[in-house]
A and B are shown apart, each in its own frame.
Chain A
Amino acid sequence: MATFTTLAERPKKHPDPDATQVYYTSNVLRLFAEYLERRQDTQVLDIGPICGENIAFLSRRVKRLYVCDMFLRMDRDRRKGLPPGRAWRHLDYPPQSFDGILLWELADRLEEREARKLAELCYTLIKPGGKVVVFVPGEQAVQEVVNAFVIGDGFRLYLRPQPHLDLPLRKRQNRNVLGMMAPLKSVKSFIYRNGLREFLFQHD
Chain B
Amino acid sequence: MLKRTRSENDVMDPAPSPVSATGKTIIGKQVAIEGGIQGSEDLVIEGTVRGSIELEKFHLTVGPKGKVEAEIRAGNVTVSGQLKGNIKVLDRVDITKDADFNGEIKAKRISVEDGAYVKAVIEVERESQKKVEPVGKANNSFASAPGKESIPLVSEGDKGK
Chain A residues within 8 Å of B, Cβ to Cβ: 6-11, 23-25, 27, 30-31, 33-35, 37, 49-52, 55-56, 59-61, 63-69, 72-73, 90, 148, 153-156, 160, 162, 164, 174, 178, 185-193, 197-199
Closest B residue by C-beta to A46: B122
Q: Is the CB of A162 within 8 A of B115?
A: yes
Q: Which residues of B contact A (CB under 8 A)?
A: 109-124, 126, 130, 132-133, 135, 138-145, 147-153, 155-161
A186 pairs with B138, CB closer than 8 A: no
Name the CB-closest residue of B to A73. Answer: B117
Candidates B144, B150, B158; contact of A191 at CB < 8 Å: B150
Determine how close the nearest CB of chain A comes to the CB of B21; give it in whole angstroms.
Answer: 32
Interface centre among A50, A51, A197, A199 (most CB of B within 10 A): A50
Which of B110, B123, B148 gathers the greatest number of chain A CB atoms within 10 Å?
Answer: B148
> Would you call the interface of chain B mostly helix, strand, loop, or mixed?
loop
Which one, A33, A69, A156, A160, contacts B119 given CB within 8 A? A69
Question: Nearest Cβ in chain A — how far from B82, in angstroms?
Answer: 14
- 27 pairs, CB–CB < 8 Å, chain A vs chain B: A7-B143, A8-B145, A10-B142, A25-B150, A35-B161, A37-B135, A50-B114, A56-B110, A59-B122, A59-B123, A64-B121, A64-B123, A65-B122, A66-B121, A67-B120, A148-B114, A154-B143, A156-B142, A162-B114, A178-B156, A187-B159, A189-B153, A190-B150, A190-B151, A191-B151, A192-B151, A193-B148
Number of A-B contacts (CB under 8 A): 135
A164 to B98, CA, bound (A): 12
Indicate the member of A8, A9, A11, A35 with the most B CB atoms within 10 Å: A8
Let me know if B123 and A189 touch, CB within 8 A: no
A173 to nearest B CB, angstroms?
12
B143 near A8 with CB under 8 A, answer yes
Report the minimum CB–CB distance from A105 to chain B (whole Å): 15
Max chain B CB contacts within 10 Å: which of A9, A73, A189? A189
In the complex, which residue of chain A has the Cβ closest to the Cβ of B153? A189
Contact of B156 among A8, A33, A63, A189 (CB under 8 A): A189
Structural contact, A59 and B118, CB atoms closer than 8 A: no
CB neighbours (8 Å) of A56 from chain B are 109-110, 124
- The answer to whether A72 and B156 touch across the interface, beta carbons within 8 angstroms, is no
**For B124, what are the chain A residues with a Cβ–Cβ distance below 8 Å?**
56, 59-60, 65
Residues of A within 8 A of B117 (CB): 69, 72-73
